[in-house]
Chains A and B, each alone.
Chain A
């Protein structure tokens, strides 16, 4: 055990737990080894401030620091700062920052002890589930930029995007609902206590108490009716006006009739009424509502281009560079975009070599190079050196923004008939009919008192409480199970929608291909002898691409080199066996500047071009098994913004009737999905980039596939972690099972209703009977749904 621990200590980074590649890593301090300078620096900073406790709560609590840091100068601009902070006065500022790196108790400890690192931090509080830190600091001593730099330095870089600046659609507050549940629960408990004497039977001399208990009960029923249940009346009224009967109509009707009958009985002193039934009913259905609205995660599903864009961009001025807010960017401004930064507005390239990665916008996975004077559209990511551009269109008019604000991309009303919605149309009509028929029969029979009793009893006992609970409890249990398997569904309705899907559409780049792993491809012709030559040359290079090529060639026998010259960033010239071999970039081997691509390696032998290697993203693990599992029961299609480069490989994976469409623009994708929907298919779209955003919204179910769920993903109904991609068929099967559970629990609650109704129509229902039957049916349905959902989850191997 101890030997194992020692081994682990020496091969992984003390800070982040990443494997240390080189045998003799230069990063070593106090007997600890680190994978990179970043991790070591964080350790050093913490040790200097006597904060080693960070490493005591968890082993390797840090996040790898290998990624490059972004430019933060925009945080010096007062008008940007003003929009980011929650509160600001002369010497104090409070800001809430989203910190994706928060993942363990050490993170909480460190972030809440920021004051040890810097005196100017007065207090900091972490909300672990939301990955947010609320920090109070003295803004005179510590600027926001310093604060963010401090956080970045210790490995907790906050994510600040344009969406933080343009704060829209604040979080929904469900405190109101909790308050209503509290009131209903309070009334329920008390009225039940006051009803017990009646249920257990009272002697004749105790009857004078009965009136007192009755009035008390009525008193508890009033706030339940007027406050706790008010939403149901509003919703029922709205739905009647719309002539679409939803489940709230019979609920509201039932609640109102219970109250009416209770009031009549208590005031006329003819009976105890049903106050406890009323309170318990409202209490249970409100809990069902709360369960339905509860979310298990704090991932935003409504992200748009604003969260993809940076807050500010560097504008090159006379003499000095200045960060400017994206919204204040003017036509004619000269901007500088560094490596890995995003071009925020359509602009003309003025200086530097631009190689733009547009994969997020168009789905085209190849890096495009632009020459001077060419227009670069907003949304592209610069790879390589810093470039300078002149803005030609304001941000709001840019190609990307326009695309987003396009009419066809607007929010679609997702018209989806849930099972409960479907049932409630007939339920209300059936219920009222039975009540009226029972009342009429008793009236004709000459017993008006019984007619009133039967009429109200039917509406009370058949109140679809259990039915109203079955769907939220089943679906939210399903939601949390999917959550645990890294499929984050927006709401319960989306789970039900998932079960109805019969057509699945995939995007290619980033969705079925993984951005993390890649494979070598060779285009051109290589003889067996050429392979030997290339192998001999690449074997001597430590460049990662050379290693990939050696792996791809898998030759053994090696030739002796007579000359070898490796030029950094360009390629290799070597002589062997009487031939001159050139291996490297296009400009190095061919001499042409066009079509630069960092991942392409050209090969020439004695000046004759043989072809090139290119590094392509490889398919996600389990793609063919996923496709195979979906083959039965689902129509499968592919919509790619990329060219047909790898169409043949995909045709081999996808079944015969599938349509594989390439070179699709974002609008094309949207119209395609629309066309399939017009054929009566329930379409599920899987995509990842902005180019899929329209299709994701238009589809009946839009699933964004992302390898880092904290990163940007377009607006959608569900976010799937790329690691769980191979489990997709099981998720869909499970969603179908969840709907099956709803159907079964509907049958159960209907059975209870029929038993209750058979008593109710005779006008002989006692309050005690109602007070027992109602909670029993509720408890049965809730426990059935929870057990059945778990059972199905286990059967689908999800728990």
Chain B
């Protein structure tokens, strides 16, 4: 059952990695603006004239 020492060591190491990732995210400002990115992701990259027309035709 000595394997338990190794397993606990692994689990804490992984948890530490996540803690580090969280710190990194906070420091780089990922939690500062939590609203705008949710809107930004829905914008289409480039809407050309033809593309817009096509879409209205579809609708």
A residues in contact (CB < 8 Å) with B: 50, 52-53, 56-57, 105, 108-109, 112, 125-130, 175, 178-179, 182-183, 186, 189-190, 193-194, 206, 209, 212, 216
B residues in contact (CB < 8 Å) with A: 1, 4-5, 8, 11-12, 15-16, 19, 22-23, 26-27, 31-33, 35-36, 39-40, 42-44, 47-49, 52
Question: Once the chains bind, are B39 and A178 in contact (CB under 8 Å)?
Answer: no
Question: Once the chains bind, are B26 and A212 in contact (CB under 8 Å)?
Answer: no
Chain B's closest residue to A112 (CB) is B40
Contact partner of A128 (CB less than 8 A), chosen from B19, B23, B36, B48, is B36
Question: Once the chains bind, are A105 and B49 in contact (CB under 8 Å)?
Answer: no
Closest chain B CB from A123 CB (angstroms): 13
**Residues on the A chain within 8 Å of B33, using CB:** 127-130
Contact partner of B23 (CB less than 8 A), chosen from A50, A127, A179, A209, is A179
Closest chain A CB from B49 CB (angstroms): 7
CA distance in complex: A186, B12 (Å):
9
Summarize B's interface: helix, strand, loop or mixed.
Answer: helix
CA distance in complex: A194, B43 (Å):
47
Name 15 interchain pairs, CB-CB below 8 A, sorted by A.
Answer: A56-B47, A57-B43, A105-B39, A108-B40, A112-B40, A128-B35, A128-B39, A179-B23, A182-B23, A186-B15, A186-B19, A193-B11, A206-B1, A209-B4, A212-B5
Closest chain A CB from B12 CB (angstroms): 6
Question: Once the chains bind, are B8 and A53 in contact (CB under 8 Å)?
Answer: no
Summarize A's interface: helix, strand, loop or mixed.
Answer: helix
Given contact pairs A105-B42, A108-B39, A109-B43, A175 touches B8 in the complex (Cβ within 8 A) = no
Question: Once the chains bind, are B47 and A189 in contact (CB under 8 Å)?
Answer: no
Chain A's closest residue to B27 (CB) is A175
CA distance in complex: A186, B23 (Å):
12
**Residues on the B chain within 8 Å of A193, using CB:** 11
**Residues on the B chain within 8 Å of A182, using CB:** 19, 22-23, 26
**Residues on the B chain within 8 Å of A175, using CB:** 26-27
**Residues on the B chain within 8 Å of A212, using CB:** 5
Chain A's closest residue to B4 (CB) is A209
**Residues on the A chain within 8 Å of B12, using CB:** 190
**Residues on the B chain within 8 Å of A209, using CB:** 1, 4
CA distance in complex: A587, B11 (Å):
88
CA distance in complex: A10, B30 (Å):
44
Closest chain A CB from B56 CB (angstroms): 10
**Residues on the A chain within 8 Å of B31, using CB:** 178
**Residues on the A chain within 8 Å of B36, using CB:** 108, 125-129
Residue among B26, B33, B39, B40 with most chain A CB within 10 A: B39
CA distance in complex: A52, B5 (Å):
63
Question: Once the chains bind, are A183 and B19 in contact (CB under 8 Å)?
Answer: yes
Question: Once the chains bind, are B8 and A194 in contact (CB under 8 Å)?
Answer: yes
**Residues on the A chain within 8 Å of B26, using CB:** 175, 178-179, 182
Closest chain A CB from B53 CB (angstroms): 11
